[in-house]
Structure 1
Amino acid sequence: MTERPLLRVVRGTPDDAELAALTAVVAGLASAPSAEPAPQPRSAWGDPARLHRPPLRPGPGAWRASGLPR
């Protein structure tokens, strides 16, 4: 069983330096580690910080302030 060549010239007549440069680029890309996907942002529903409630502050208007977003 014969192995297939890594590169095959379809058109043109590249010289040895051009073939060497192309082979180096293709080999470098093939051995480069694959890029890891970016981590997905965590949903606010699963955020453990939501389990901690802020301290209550008594005083005038406290009932109104308790329902406002922080």
Structure 2
Amino acid sequence: MNIKVVRGNPTPEELAAAVAVVRARAAAASLPPAPAAPRDSWSDPARIASGRLPQPGPTSWARTYWPG
């Protein structure tokens, strides 16, 4: 890997930080994507949508939360 400084006069610490960022990005790009976590039944939106919709009333606020 070659890095060329086009403008300015960076310190060795600044060059080391730039190289560390470039190497970390290259390493992250070469990793396979992580598998998606399975949904548990509590956070499944189908659990709420499967029933009838809440009707207006004093307790309807308790049934309006939609986890996602």
- The alignment's TM-score, normalised by the length of structure 2, stands at 0.41
Higher RCO (C-alpha 8 Å, min separation 6): 2
- The alignment's TM-score, normalised by the length of structure 1, stands at 0.40
Structure with higher Rg: it is 1
